[in-house]
Structure 1
Amino acid sequence: MTWPLVGCLLIGALVVGWPGGRARERLRRQRWCLPPGLFAHPRRATALVVGVVTGLGLLAGGPVAAVVTAAYSGLAGRALLRRAARRRDGASRVAALDGLSALAADLRAGLPPAARAVSALSSDRIGRLTSSVWQLAERTGAPAADLVERIEADARAADRAAAKASAQAAGAQATALLLAGLPVGGIGLGIAIGADPLDVLLHTPIGAACAAGAVVLQCGGLLWAERLAQ
């Protein structure tokens, strides 16, 4: 029963460590074939992987193993989706700030900004502020370049503050992940000394209660640490 459960944990690790967009592009250049459309719907793909891991856990260790693998693979999939979303948001914000800089330079040079350039920034708060500045400049003749530069400076200052806060919270996140991994080390230590902790955890009432309590506490701790880091 141990090796199938180890396989489930390895699949969960694969969910966390699956390469991101740039890494997949490098793999494609190296002719590593990935199925087309596999990541077209990341939420569905993540749900599918979680379901497979849960099913393998059920087959390998019974209902308790299924609950444990479902919880941990679900957390891993959620973290993977959030990381991908942060990368997309970061790339979009960088593009928006670069667009603001180019727009301010055009206005300083006396060049009329293209309407498409202004509308391209209208997907978030930066875009809404820029559109409002442009409408105000058209109505009142206010110096749009100064206002656009102030929007850019404010946005970059907010990004620097967010980066500092994230760096300060990195220690708490690392500690939470380390604590979350300690039970795995304890199980490995028990196996190394000749005990069978998996049999106790998966096939006895007291072990099942301990496993369920550990999953609840660990999930709550990880979500709390994530909340503190936001």
Structure 2
Amino acid sequence: MAGRVGHEVWVLVVGAVVALAGRSPLPLLLGAAAMPVTRRALRARAQRAARDRRADEVIALCGALVGEMRAGRHPGEALSEVARAPDGGLGAARTTVLAAARFGGDVPGELTAAAREPGAEGLVGLAVCWRVAVDQGAGLAAGLERLEAALRAERDQRAELRAQLAGARATAVMLAGLPVVGLLLGAALGAEPLRVLLHTGPGLVCLAVGGALEVTGLWWASRIVRGAEVG
């Protein structure tokens, strides 16, 4: 949490530096207004990373269960063994799932409930395999092997898509930074761009229109990338 707050403060610091350089409070106010947006973006990135970690833990759980059952353990014993650690893939539902496995409870039901957490959707497949194995006597290890392979393939496909979209993100960031480069070049040539933008009527109009176009462009590019990831 401290790291995310630090990044948010940097937005305000940049606004303060520009405000001092341009002798206007407007950049500081814009920096303060940008802090909530930055906070939401950082929170979304942290949630996405946590969701990916949880998905990896579920895949590892399936693989470990297969190994334990191939070694001759009962499914309940295997689940209790591999999911004992806090990062065993069950998350906050670890206690209830392990209790159900140990005392003959509704393990598939508890796994389905645990799958409602972000990134744990693969536990639905584990619950289905478990229920089929109990009700119909099918081999749980074989089903979990197929489930693990499917989850790994889905994860790899998602990672490949993100790698392909990284170029689009980099292009959007580069284009968003071009106005800053223009301001630096103008300052180097002695044109005083900050004075023009912050202390003249036409400059304020250009700043407002350019800022609106900049925000709209970033929002639109982000929406396209998110749509490609979801789709």
1:38 maps to 2
1:33 maps to none
Task: Give the counterpart of 1:143 among 139, 144, 155.
Answer: 139
Cα deviation per residue 1:22-42 (whole Å; 9 max; x = unaligned)?
Answer: xxxxxxxxxxxxxxx735xx4
Structure 1 residue 198 corresponds to structure 2 residue 197: no
Shift in Å, 1:78:
4.1
- Look up the SS of the partner of 2:212 in the other structure: helix
1:168 maps to 164
Q: 2:129 touches 2:144 (CA, 8 Å); kept in 1?
A: yes
Residue ranges of structure 1 left out of the alignment (5+ in a row)? 1-36
Aligned pairs, number: 190
Q: 1:201 touches 1:211 (CA, 8 Å); kept in 2?
A: yes
Q: 1:133 touches 1:148 (CA, 8 Å); kept in 2?
A: yes
- Look up the SS of the partner of 2:2 in the other structure: coil
1:49 maps to 9
The root-mean-square deviation of aligned C-alpha atoms, in Å, is: 3.0
Task: Give the counterpart of 2:53 among 83, 91, 95.
Answer: 91
Identity of aligned residues (%): 35
Alpha-carbon spacing, 1:217–1:70, altered in 2? closer, same or farther (3 Å): farther
2:97 maps to none
Alpha-carbon spacing, 1:114–1:162, altered in 2? closer, same or farther (3 Å): closer
Structure 1 residue 208 corresponds to structure 2 residue 168: no
Q: 1:64 touches 1:202 (CA, 8 Å); kept in 2?
A: yes
2:173 maps to 177
Q: Measure, in 1, the Cα distance between the counterparts of 2:51 and 2:130.
A: 24
Structure 1 residue 225 corresponds to structure 2 residue 221: yes
Cα deviation per residue 1:17-58 (whole Å; 9 max; x = unaligned)?
Answer: xxxxxxxxxxxxxxxxxxxx735xx4xx36962784488379
Q: 1:190 touches 1:197 (CA, 8 Å); kept in 2?
A: yes
Cα deviation per residue 1:132-171 (whole Å; 9 max; x = unaligned)?
Answer: 3212322221221122112211111111111221121111
Cα deviation per residue 1:176-220 (whole Å; 9 max; x = unaligned)?
Answer: 111111011100111111111111111223222222222222222
Q: Which has the higher contact order (CA 8 A, sep 6+)?
A: 1
Residue ranges of structure 2 left out of the alignment (5+ in a row)? 91-113, 227-231
1:20 maps to none
1:158 maps to 154
Q: 2:8 touches 2:38 (CA, 8 Å); kept in 1?
A: no
Larger displacement relative to structure 2 (154-163 or 85-94): 85-94
Task: Give the counterpart of 2:182 among 164, 182, 186.
Answer: 186
Q: TM-score, normalised by structure 1?
A: 0.69
- Look up the SS of the partner of 2:122 in the other structure: helix
Residue identity opposite 1:49 in structure 2: V
Q: TM-score, normalised by structure 2?
A: 0.68
Alpha-carbon spacing, 1:65–1:127, altered in 2? closer, same or farther (3 Å): same
Q: Measure, in 1, the Cα distance between the counterparts of 2:55 and 2:45.
A: 15
Q: Measure, in 2, the Cα distance between the counterparts of 1:221 and 1:71.
A: 18
2:108 maps to none
